[in-house]
Structure 1
C-alpha cells in the first residue's frame, strides 16, 4: 500500500472529529459476526449486534500485539487512558504508530473507553522507570501530558491491511459515523491479529 494510503488510514484511526458532529461518531469494539462485500456486523461484549456499511473507500488496518519494549523516546503513540492523580493519566491501551503517521491528529482529547477517558496522540519526550510503573512525558505542540504505564496496559501496533482480514470471528474496532439517514458507515476497520482486540 502506498504511503498516501497509510497516512489516510492513520488519520482515520486517530481522528476524534473526522468532520462529523461529536454525537454522530461511532466506535464499535467487538467480534465480527457477519460480513459481506458491502457491510459487516459487530457483536460487542454485551452481545449487542450492530451492522454498518463497509464503503469501498473504508480503510483497513492490520493490528498486532506489541510490548512495552516498543515505548522509547521519540516514538509517536496513541494512548487511550483513564484519569490518574496529579493530573496524570493511566494508559489502558497504547498504539505504536509507524513513522509515516507521525503527527497525525496530535493532541489530547476525550475518548470513549470509560468515564473521563482520553486519547493522547503525541511524541514520547522522556521515559522514566519507576518501581511499579513507567511514566512517559508526552509532547504535543507546546503542551505536555504525563502518562503512567502499568502491568494492565495493553500494547498494539499496525500496518495497512486488506479487506480479506475482515472475517467472522475477527476482533475489530470500527471507526465510523452515522449519516443523515441514520445508517452507520465505517471509515476505518482495525482488525486484530490472532484474536487481539485493538487496544484503543
Structure 2
C-alpha cells in the first residue's frame, strides 16, 4: 500500500520534474542588431544585420537607453565596464561599454556571446563571449593580431596605462577569484548608456535589442538606440 508520505514524495518529485522541464523549454534571450524600419505604439520592426525584417513587440517594462560615444580616458579605477573580446591569452577588445553606476554588476561573469563585427580589423564578424566583472589593474600593452574567437568582458577598472600604440591592458575580476586580461586597442569603439524614452525609437535608428521569442512572437526587454546615427557596437 502506498503511504501518504510516499504519495507526497512522489507528488513533489513529479512537480520538480515538470518545473525542470519548463526551465529547459524556456526561451533563451536573443540579441538583435539592425536598423528600425517602422515604429508602432508598442512595437518596432527591425531590419537586422543579416537582412531579415523582425517585428519586435515591446514588453510593458522594456528598458530603452541611448548609446553614446565615450573614450578610453574615462575608464578609471572603479569603473564598471563591458567589453566584447576576441582571442585568448590575452583577449583583445572589440568594443568597450562604460556602464552607469545604476547598472553596476550587470551580467557579472563570463559566458558565450554572439558573432559581432570586428571594427578594429576590417569589420568581419568574429565569434565572441561575454565577461562581466571588476577591473582591478591596467598596465602598458601592445596591439594583438586579429583573431577569430572572442569574448565579452564587463567589469570595474582600477588603473589606466597605455602602450606606445595607444593599447591599454585591463585585468577584469568577475567573482570567486576569476579574472581575465583584456587588451584594448585605441581603435576599439568605446560607448556608454544614458536614459531614453520610447520616443528614441525612430525610423532609421540603429539598435541593439535583447528579446525573447515565444510562439512566433519576439518581445523586447531592452532596446539600446544609437544616438545621432551611432551604431551600437556590442
TM (normalized to structure 2)? 0.71
Cα distance in 2 for partners of 1:190, 1:67 equals 18
**Contact residue 124 and residue 138 of structure 1 kept, 8 A:** yes
Aligned to 2:32: 28
Shift of 1:27: 0.7
Of structures 1 and 2, the larger Rg is shown by 2
The structure 2 residue matched to 1:106, chosen from 105, 108, 111, is: 108
- Which ranges of structure 1 fall in alignment gaps of 5 or more residues? 1-18
1:78 to 2:82 alignment: yes
Q: Which has the higher contact order (CA 8 A, sep 6+)?
A: 1
1:131 to 2:164 alignment: yes
TM (normalized to structure 1)? 0.82
**Contact residue 78 and residue 121 of structure 1 kept, 8 A:** yes
The RMSD of aligned alpha carbons is 1.9
Runs of 4+ in 1 over 6 A off after TM superposition: 19-23
Cα distance in 2 for partners of 1:112, 1:164 equals 28
Cα separation, partners in 2 of 1:136 and 1:20, compared to 1, 3 Å: farther
Cα distance in 2 for partners of 1:167, 1:106 equals 31
1:139-178 to 2 correspondence within 5 Å? 139-141=173-175, 142-178=177-213
Aligned to 2:121: none
| Number of positions where the alignment pairs a residue of Structure 1 with one of Structure 2 | 179
Shift of 1:116: 3.6
